[in-house]
Amino acid sequence: MIKRLSLDQENDIKSTAKILSDVFPWSYGEEYRAIDEVKRLCEDDGIAYVYVVDETVKGIVGAKPQYGSTGWELHPLAVDKDYRHQGIAKTLMSKIEAAVVDKGGIVLYLGSDDEHFRTSLSSIDLFEDPLEAIKNIRNYSDHPFTFYEKIGYKIVGVLPDANGWNKPDIYMAKRLVKRPLNGDGKP
């Protein structure tokens, strides 16, 4: 079952924090950091949904407006490792995309780090020709960019060395609503 994450629900906050600390131990390994992050997801117009099985959160997705109401940033997306490849992330993404559109969003974007040499972008000096490197990207080890591509996101840029030498951030985005046409039928 999917539901909106609410700060009133202590149990959901705790089990969402556990997902974050299990999936991203380098950022949220300490419980208080994970709890703080979960609380932040609901602040400042943020929207977050959780996927709950037997009263325990097994997946989380969040988004916040960053460019007025039109451009929204997705963060975080995580599914418990025992529940992956069952369509939970895809379902959470549909839910958050619809919620963002409801709030006036037209584009949803995200940064997906490659800190552990999981794509071809981390095996070269990206500053030399970033656009060519994006065109030829390869997934070496289940990096989530392939998941996002499957649901309509495109790589729109990279930040070389964002997480250290040859550890880029990969930016992806999806247009959420049809672009209106002008009188001449062109966008």
Ligand X SMILES: CC(C)(COP(=O)(O)OP(=O)(O)OC[C@H]1O[C@@H](n2cnc3c(N)ncnc32)[C@H](O)[C@@H]1OP(=O)(O)O)[C@@H](O)C(=O)NCCC(=O)NCCS
Residues that bind ligand X (CB under 6 A): 23, 77-79, 84-90, 110, 112, 142, 144, 146-147, 150
Nearer to ligand X by Cβ, of 23 and 41: the residue is: 23
Cβ atoms of 59 and 19 within 8 Å: the answer is: yes
Integer-rounded Cα radius of gyration of the chain: 17
Closest approach of Cβ 85 to ligand X, in Å?
Answer: 5
Of 115, 132, 125, nearest in space to 169 by CA = 115
Closest approach of Cβ 26 to ligand X, in Å?
Answer: 12
Question: How far is it, in rounded angstroms, from Cα 5 to Cα 133?
Answer: 38
Nearer to ligand X by Cβ, of 8 and 62: the residue is: 62
Question: How far is it, in rounded angstroms, from Cα 140 to Cα 160?
Answer: 18
Beta-carbon contacts of residue 117 (< 8 Å; ≥ 6 apart): 123, 140, 141, 166, 167
Question: How far is it, in rounded angstroms, from Cα 140 to Cα 121?
Answer: 10
Nearer to ligand X by Cβ, of 127 and 140: the residue is: 140
Nearer to ligand X by Cβ, of 100 and 110: the residue is: 110
Cβ atoms of 172 and 123 within 8 Å: the answer is: no
Closest approach of Cβ 187 to ligand X, in Å?
Answer: 29
Nearer to ligand X by Cβ, of 133 and 143: the residue is: 143
Of 166, 170, 147, 146, nearest in space to 158 by CA = 170
Closest approach of Cβ 34 to ligand X, in Å?
Answer: 14
Closest approach of Cβ 127 to ligand X, in Å?
Answer: 22
